[in-house]
Structure 1
Amino acid sequence: MQLADVKLSSLFLLCLQRLARLLDSHAAAVTRLPPSLKDALRAVATASGRLRASSLPCLLHGQVRELELGRCDLDRACLEVLQTCSGLTKLDLSCFAGVARSFDCSALASLFPCLPLLTTLNLNYVVSADDGVTEAVTRHCPRITTLYLQGCAAITDVSLHWMPALRHLQVLNISHTKVTDAGMVHLLNACGKQLHKLFIANCANLTRVTFVAVVRNWVCLERLVCDGCPFEDRQLHREIELREREAKRHNSRAASCPARATSEHSEAEETN
């Protein structure tokens, strides 16, 4: 029985892979598929980079909450299609090596007013992601908890001044960007106490000033990645390692408190 299931699964996957190659010519038929099959086919098509603006609409439906398009060539038409996915909570537009991103910053910025429920956004290495795009994200996607902007060379301190609008932000990756101490100090003073993970690797403009601000505002931060920054201070690095361990214990206790409180409440109700 298990062997038959494996064979059926393999046959199903082969069918999906074959159909993914022919999406454009079978879009009308694919549109009529149930959501579960659309999800499976979309996963195969995106993993192989075969999804295009012409075929993307037929694979979407009202229940789509997550899209990972890092391996797909994307253009302005694709972004216009994504504007219909108002229920998205997770969107990955990161740019893998050899993948095209044929849209400008204004086209990208115009996407986010249509995605108010986003909690996770990945724009790693998207060339057109600039400060204007960050502004659009912070204005229209207030639920963001995780934001990846690694390798977005057009990101500067202006973006960091918009970040405090994201009141639920916990994970931020701005590695390989042009941010400076001034922007980082503003960010950390405004929302550093809510961050759990901060990635600032290979930010050539950062100095000891930023790291002092990190330590000063350290409350929940479990991980700080700062490899390649032009700064070396053994004492401060030891302080950072100590704070990381303390933050992990703090967050672990905080996570267990609601469960403990619920357990105690249930026990009290049973006693009564």
Structure 2
Amino acid sequence: MVVSGRGDAHKRLCSSKFFKSWVSHPQKGQHCPSLLNLCIHAATQDILQYHTFSELPPDLTQQIFNNLLFSGRLTLPSLQAFRHCTLQDIYLGEYDADVVDDSWMDIVSSQGSSLLHLDLSASQLTDYGLSYLQQGLTNLTSLSFGRNHAISAEGMSALSGLVNLVNLNLERCPGIHGGLVHLQGLTKLESLNLKWCNCIIDVDMKPLSELTNLKSLEISSSKVTDIGIRFLKGLQNLALLNLEGCFVTAACLDTLAELSLLDLRLTKESFKQQVNIVIDCFLPELPALSNLNISRCNFTNNGCEMFSRLTKLKSLNLDSCRIDDDGLVHLAGHQQLKCLELSDTEIGSSGLQHLSGMYSLEKLNVSFTMISDSGLSELCGLSSLKSLNLDARRVTDYGLATLASLSGLTDLDLFGVQITDFGTNYLKNFKSLQSLEICGGGLTDDGVKNIKNLSSLMFLNLSQNSNLTDTALHLISGLTSLVSLNVSNSRITRDGLQHLKTLHKLRSLSMESCEVTTNDIKELKSKYLPNLLSFRPEE
């Protein structure tokens, strides 16, 4: 059946169960459903009775499609009604991965030049299905088929004609080695995600050298080395570079060090030319680079010298790199840095002095490091700091006291810190806290008294504090903004659950190793916590 005139549509709407139910049994205070909502509902309820929606306005067709998709009722038979419907957005990523396959691509490609965004992540798409991208999808700007194990380098030739593509996601596609050559003509590409493509090696980087509009490149956990990074020298607009877990080092600094051996009799102009020739080959001269992730890479103190050249950095991730306090010296001048990840490095308290001038810093992670109370005073002047992760066993109540001036903190992670009831007195200074973790085992119910007035808290983790009792739940019952609560490994019992009745926004509740059963939590959910989606213990 074809949906055509307004009269036919209105007649079908008025006969729908949804419409009749609303007219016969309107709920008290219920608003009249809009004609648009009635139309969408009626169409989705009787979807297999329609032959095509192509004569409906495109925005209405899009909403019908989205309704079916979000409700999990979109199937290949129901998809037939959307042939040639000029949809703009088709987001099938993660949608019933065993169902979405090549057979869907005929309908997808029929949208033609109207289709702008297409997500086929985690589908069963093969090279054959990918070939449908060549059938008129000339205006596609965003494409994702990450986590796809069937796409090969040869199949990626179908991407070569997508000249308007701006965003491309190929995450976890293990068969695309050699296929990036088909991206050379996609000069409008700004974002390329190649994370967890362990087939990608240095030679795959060469075709990217022509993508001069590229602003974001993610190649974490690939096999790219320093040689491959040299191909990025022409990407002057690159702002985000994710190299996490790659085989890169600071070997480029060895070449830069050779500048000191140049013949001092060179003229000023020839010296400048030779310097430029060398520097242009390496990453530190990317002027737009503001986000750099080199976590889990083979970077040591010697490699930290490069950071003095990355003057525009706003985010730097050095997680699990082999650097210590001496390496942080080269970060001292980074006034624009807003996010710094130093977790699981070898830094100690003395290294924090090099961070004291980073007045723009908003997020700092120094978890699993050697820092202690003595170094935290260096952070007192970082008034812009909003997020601080101090999961370090050498930090105690006294260290927390030195941070009292950081009143703008919204996220504070003290997971393994040795905080006692006495130390919680200093939490009163952090009235803007939205997330708090104290899991070192030193808290009792008395300590929770200093948490109960942090009314902005949305995420609270007090797990591993084995001395907490039901009284702790009574104390935090007034934190009505909580969406996540973890009190695992405590002495809390089912009797304490009554105190959670007021936490109507709670979506996640963890009470593992407590005297509470799954049925106890389910009963609480059914009566008082309608938004609870995740809970432990589970059956």
TM-score, with length taken from structure 1: 0.71
Give the Cα–Cα distance (whole angstroms) in 2 for the partners of residues 241 and 163 of structure 1: 28
Deviation at 1:17, TM superposition (A): 6.3
Q: Counterpart of 1:91 in 2: which secondary structure? A: strand
Name the counterpart of 1:180: 201
For the 8 Å contact 1:31–1:59, the answer to whether it is kept is: yes
Q: Percent identity?
A: 22
User: Unaligned regions of 5+ residues in structure 2, if any?
Assistant: 1-27, 248-296, 315-335, 337-539
For the 8 Å contact 1:223–1:244, the answer to whether it is kept is: no
Name the counterpart of 2:185: 165
Name the counterpart of 1:270: none
Q: Counterpart of 2:237 in 1: which secondary structure? A: coil
Deviation at 1:124, TM superposition (A): 1.0
TM-score, with length taken from structure 2: 0.38
User: Unaligned regions of 5+ residues in structure 1, if any?
Assistant: 250-272
Deviation at 1:129, TM superposition (A): 2.2
More helix by share: 1
Equivalent position to 1:235, from 304, 308, 314? 304
- 1:78 correspondence with 2:88: no
Larger RCO (alpha carbons 8 Å, 6+ apart): 1
Q: Counterpart of 1:224 in 2: which secondary structure? A: strand
Deviation readout 1:154-182 (Å, 9 max, x if unpaired): 110x1122221112111111111111012
Q: Counterpart of 1:198 in 2: which secondary structure? A: strand
Give the Cα–Cα distance (whole angstroms) in 1 for the partners of residues 214 and 182 of structure 2: 15
CA separation of 1:237 and 1:22: change in aligned 2, threshold 3 A: farther
Name the counterpart of 1:53: 76
Deviation at 1:7, TM superposition (A): 6.4
For the 8 Å contact 2:62–2:88, the answer to whether it is kept is: no
Name the counterpart of 2:321: none
Give the Cα–Cα distance (whole angstroms) in 1 for the partners of residues 184 and 57 of structure 2: 41
Q: Residue type matched to 1:197 in 2?
A: S
Q: Residue type matched to 1:84 in 2?
A: S
Give the Cα–Cα distance (whole angstroms) in 1 for the partners of residues 155 and 306 of structure 2: 33
Q: Counterpart of 1:43 in 2: which secondary structure? A: helix
Name the counterpart of 2:332: none
Deviation at 1:23, TM superposition (A): 2.7
- How many equivalent residue pairs? 231
Q: Counterpart of 2:236 in 1: which secondary structure? A: coil
Deviation at 1:200, TM superposition (A): 0.6
Give the Cα–Cα distance (whole angstroms) in 2 for the partners of residues 210 and 242 of structure 1: 23
Deviation readout 1:63-88 (Å, 9 max, x if unpaired): 42221111253133211112211121
Deviation at 1:127, TM superposition (A): 2.3
The structure number with the bigger radius of gyration is 2
Deviation at 1:224, TM superposition (A): 1.1
For the 8 Å contact 1:89–1:120, the answer to whether it is kept is: yes
CA separation of 1:22 and 1:125: change in aligned 2, threshold 3 A: farther
Deviation at 1:5, TM superposition (A): 8.6
- 1:12 correspondence with 2:33: no
Runs of 4+ in 1 over 4 A off after TM superposition: 3-7, 15-19, 29-34
